Structure 1
Amino acid sequence: MKEEYSVIILSKSGDFLLENEEQLNRRENGIEADEPYIMTEDETAHRIRAKEVFIPYSSVENIQYGKFEQETEKAN
């Protein structure tokens, strides 16, 4: 099923998708992403089983804002 996301964080450890900008929190040493999805090799977004993920600025390659539709695998 396709879902809409507002933020994509491109990083060395993976590409993270957020449903809205409020889920992105900038901290002194990096970014906290609340309830993120991660893009897999088959171009499908999967929900991470973590409340938040910390991504150090040294690992962040780019942050994109907009409306992005992505095939999403929902957990049962």
Structure 2
Amino acid sequence: MLIVSNIITPQWIEGDRVRLAQVLSNLLNNATKYTGEGGKIMLNVTREGSTAVIEIRDTGIGIPAATLPHIFDLFIQADDSLA
């Protein structure tokens, strides 16, 4: 189940369209990959001043704490056993 909250007036984001799509796609694909049947994926977008804050939460297995500082590095995978 994907829950999208805070649906309000659309806001424009200035950034690299391809990279933004890639990051969001990867995060949501991983959330679906590691969240079991009946789990939840929550997407929340808020605005803090001139910054867009995109938050994705799920009830999946999570990311090991040691991997968190590197999740946006190129070619990083915490666990490829489901690949």
Q: What is the TM-score with the length of structure 1 in the denominator?
A: 0.26
Question: Where is the strand percentage greater, Structure 1 or Structure 2?
Answer: 1
Tell me which of the two structures has the higher relative contact order, counting C-alpha pairs closer than 8 angstroms and 6 or more residues apart.
1
Question: Where is the helix percentage greater, Structure 1 or Structure 2?
Answer: 2
Q: What is the TM-score with the length of structure 2 in the denominator?
A: 0.25
